[in-house]
Structure 1
Amino acid sequence: MLVLKRRKGQEIVIESPVAGMAAGFPGGAIRIRVVQTSDGSCSLAFDAPETHRIRRAELPAVPQPQPAQQVCAVSCASRGVSELLQVQG
């Protein structure tokens, strides 16, 4: 999965040589514009040729990765100090 950060009004353009240039007609690109953002959600506007058949759908939220330090702190807390030194050393 590719995750791109964009601000309101910015656009992402995906060129499609199969539907566009190879078929001999312009406008084969899919254009995605960020139209609204709020805390935890985002609205996108899609513009694509009919050949792509994009339908209205809700995109699932992308889970935020947890920092590695939290994972280490949890797993290290259950070990003894001597075992922890052996693992790190």
Structure 2
Amino acid sequence: MSRLPSYQWGREDTLKEFQAELTEKDLALQEKDTALQEKDSLLKQTLQEKEQQTVRLIRKMHLSGMDAATIADLLEMPLAEVVALFKND
């Protein structure tokens, strides 16, 4: 501030405060974004694990002699999904 006229000192201080506040808010947003990405990743992982468990259960039911319609009824799934899993088996 040594070379600035005295009437600009307050402006420079205000600008520095504003920049510091923006930086602080930006960091907070980055932290929230990171947390949301972690939650999204965990949700996707959990969903994938649930789908794998469902596929294993359907295979066990199929191997025990149940037909696709019975399995779909018991698991409250669309018959087309169960049939598609049989085709992949």
TM-score bracket, normalised by the shorter chain, equals under 0.3
Q: Which has the larger radius of gyration?
A: 2
More helix by share: 2
Relative to the length of structure 2, the TM-score reads 0.26
Higher-RCO chain (CA-CA 8 Å, sequence separation at least 6): 1
